[in-house]
Amino acid sequence: MALVPKIDGYLFNYNLCTETVNGVTKSNAIIGPNNVCLENAPKCGSYWQNGIFGMEMSHITVVEVATAAENIYKGKTYWTVIKELMNLAGFNSGSNVYKTLLECFPNNKSVPATGLSMKCANLVKLWLVRNHLVGLSVAISDNLACLNSSSNYPSWFMNNIKFSNGFEGIKNTINILANYYTN
C-alpha cells in the first residue's frame, strides 16, 4: 500500500472543485492537474481544494506559496520546486501538463510571483500547494485554531474514502509525510 494516495494514477494530483455556476451545482469533482476551479467567477459559490491537505485555494496568494517554497527549499526558486514536483508527479518536461505551465516562465526562468498573470498565478498556486512541505506550511498557517486536540476539526471524505479523521487525521498525515520523506 502506498503511503501517499494516487489520484487518477498520479501522486500529488488532488484537485477538487465544487462549483455552483448560475445556480447549477457540480459537487466534488476531481478536475485535471492544470484545471482551475471557477471559484472567483461571477455568480459562483464554489470551493477549490488542492493538495494532500485539501488547502482552500482562496485562502492563499501566489506570493505566499512562492515565498514559502523558497524559504523551505533554500537556494531554489519556486519554479525549480514546481519542476521537481511535476517530474515526481509523473509530468516530465515533454508532457502537455508541463508545457502548459512552462508558458508562464519565458526561457524556462523563474519570474517574480507578483508579475504573474491570473492564469499563471493560479497554476503556480495549485502546483506549489501540492508540494507536501509547502502545502503543509500554508495549511498549518491557515488552520492554527484547529491544530489542537480540543478543536472540532471535521473529518472529510472523497468518493466514500475517508481522508481525514479530525485532529487525529492531521497528526496521522504529518506522520505519514515524515515517514515518506525520511525513507
pLDDT tens-digit series, residues 50-66: 777 777 777 889 999 99
Q: What residues pair up with 176 in beta bridges, in sequence order?
A: none
Higher-scoring residue by pLDDT: 13, 99: 99
Model-wide pTM > 0.85: no
Instruction: Tell whether the model's pLDDT for residue 168 goes beyond 70.
Output: no
Per-residue three-class SS string for 93-151 = CCCHHHHHHHCCCHHHCCCCHHHCCHHHHHHHHHHHHHCHHHHHHHHHHHCHHHCCCCC
Angstrom CA distances, 90 to 9, 76, 99, 101, stand at 9, 21, 13, 14
Average pLDDT, the chain: 74
Q: Which helix (H) or strand (E) element contains residue 78? A: helix 78-88
Instruction: Tell whether the model's pLDDT for residue 84 goes beyond 70.
Output: yes
- Summarize pLDDT for 88-123 with one digit per residue, the tens: 888 889 999 899 999 999 999 999 999 999 989 989
Higher-scoring residue by pLDDT: 128, 1: 128
Of 18-32, 33-47, 59-73, 135-149, which range is least confident? 33-47
Instruction: Tell whether the model's pLDDT for residue 129 goes beyond 80.
Output: yes
Of 28-42, 127-141, 159-173, which range is least confident? 159-173
What pLDDT, on the 0 to 100 scale, is given for residue 22?
A: 65
158 pLDDT band, cuts 50/70/90, is very low
